[in-house]
Amino acid sequence: MIFNVSVQPFISLMAGILILIMPRLLNYIVAVYLIIVGILGLTHGRMM
């Protein structure tokens, strides 16, 4: 079985859960999310 799962929705879900649990992490979670989405966007989802 091969699963074709997009990374962005999974990251969004995890970030949302962490923000609900620990609101002080909001700045860090947003920063990490933006960095990951930016890297994925620049590499078109293909990592080396």
- pTM for the whole thing? 0.50
Separation CA 37–CA 4 (nearest Å): 18
What pLDDT, on a 0 to 100 scale, did the predictor assign at position 22? 82
**C-alpha dist (Å) from residue 38 to 2, 10, 11, 32:** 26, 15, 13, 10
Report the distance separating Cα 41 and Cα 47, nearest Å: 11
Give 3-47 pLDDT, tens digit per residue.
566 777 887 788 778 778 888 877 887 888 888 888 888 887 565
Predicted local confidence at residue 35, as pLDDT: 84
